[in-house]
Structure 1
Amino acid sequence: MQLIPQSSDIHAYLVADEVIDHDHPLVRETADALWTATGDAYSYAKVAFEFVRDTIPHSADSGDSRVSWRASDVLGTRNGVCYAKSHALVALLRARGVPAGLCYQRLADDDGSNPAVHGLIALRLPGAADWARQDPRGNKPGVDAQFTLEAERLAFPVRPELGEADYPELYAVPHSGVLKALRESADRSELWRILPTAL
């Protein structure tokens, strides 16, 4: 899928802010440890992806009711929904100079009901002509997301016949509707009630 960056300046996809806080000591420490184990941008990106996918459970799978949204909090609590895990992965990538942004899908139940926006990321490795989407949501039976720069292996391929869609925009900062839902939710059950259904 061809992504449309919301900023033409690649540096926008390297910035630290309140959400993608890769200047936080915990994010830096984690990034440094993962980098030491790899040593090049491709290997680092793959290991960072697998670290977030596999060691930070999606809170819907683990039953954790806490809602985290800041990257450092996601790493500290080892908890988060798809958006939060995406924030953590983007922060880890940016901490080592790999441009990364946020992208979204509209997903639904198997009968097309209960639409919700799902969060994932895209990165651009040195020398790459295009952005590559990756989904750190976390695998489980029926979900097998893998790190790849070629054919995408996302958690959820969209089903247009059910009204699902890949949004082509690549955001340097979280979508305002997504961030509002995360910040205003006291727990995950409240978040589920106010999740954006479309962008």
Structure 2
Amino acid sequence: MLCEPMTFVISGTGASFDYTPDFLVERADGVRVVTEAKVNECALRDPEYRRRLGIVAEVCRRLGWIFQVVLEDEVFDNRFHQRNCELVASHRFIRVGPSEISRLARLSDPLTSYGELAKLLAPHCKAAGRAIAHALHVRRYVEIDLKHWLQDLTPVRVLNTMRKTPPNNDHRENTFPRPLTLEHSLD
């Protein structure tokens, strides 16, 4: 799952607009699912906003993608899951450089724990290690089980340490892959 992965630039619909979805998921069968997440149905009351979502849904249909709007209570399994996702998202722009990736690559087993990973990433500051672990989760270097209370024994799986490391501290460069702009005219 990628957060805010692209921007749709829509024109020819009576009014031009840009739209950035909340998530993009590529399923195992290759189908892409574009998702807009909302707290509740009140966020969908504006007719112009609903019209724009309808246009984006049509663009997705033409691309062979699925577009969906999900409400908060449909996304999270429980309050821990919601809290953990918000916490991890808040650390998405933490700098991750070659030294952190190198430390991650030193793990001999792709399965580790949240506490061990935090200690490996920042030996002198557990809070910093956790923040870096969260950034690595967002960038898909590791997978942290976010459905339960995060504790030192929470399972973590290392996904990939062979990817190119970010060249600088710019958050757009640190987010993989780079955001994509899709320009589409419905005329």
TM more than 0.5: no
TM-score in terms of structure 1 length: 0.26
Q: Which structure has more strand as a fraction of its residues?
A: 2
TM-score normalised by L of structure 2 = 0.27
